[in-house]
Amino acid sequence: MLKVEHIGIAVKTLADSVPLFEKLLNSQCYKTERVESEKVNTAFFKSGDTKIELLESIAENGVIAKFIEKKGESLHHIAFEVENIELEMARLKSEGFILLNEKPKRGADNKFVCFLHPKSTNGVLIELCEEIK
């Protein structure tokens, strides 16, 4: 793994949370994006070399809506940048980690992504990211 690529935070609404994080980070949101496959709207910020991704559900039964219902607005996942997502997925699977998807899928911010089940990572949802070239 190359570095922490971003930290994902589940929020009820981007309308309320974007201004809050702009003040908190003293930085403007540089990108918003809708990811239909994940049923979310996202907003991105930079903090040093790391990005912060806010995630708002666009569906009442979406993963983020269910997460907020259970845990409230909070840290959702930590994403790590990898050079070759398929090789890293195979390596982690061989080490006993549980993958939530068997093949990389297109995610936000021009990335291929794969998530690791929190049951195999001490309760932390981990995302692997590879820049789409």
Residues 34, 107 contacting (CB under 8 angstroms): no
With pLDDT > 90 as the criterion, what percentage of the chain qualifies?
A: 95
Backbone angles phi and psi of 118, in degrees to 5: -60, -25
> Checking phi first, is residue 122 left (phi over 0); if not, alpha (psi -120 to 50) or beta?
left
Separation between Cα atoms, residue 74 and residue 32, nearest integer Å: 19
Q: Tell me: the pLDDT tens digits for 94-104?
A: 999 999 999 99
Tokens encoding 71: 């845990």
Alpha carbon separation from 54 to 9, 13, 85, 112 (Å, rounded): 5, 9, 23, 18
pLDDT tens digits for range 42-84: 999 998 889 999 999 999 999 999 999 999 999 999 999 999 9
Residue 38 has what DSSP assignment? G
Nearest Cα to 57, choosing from 40, 75, 74? 40
Contact at 8 Å (CB) between 52 and 44? yes
What pLDDT was estimated at residue 1? Answer: 83
If you search the block for the tokens 């496959």, which residue do you land on? 37
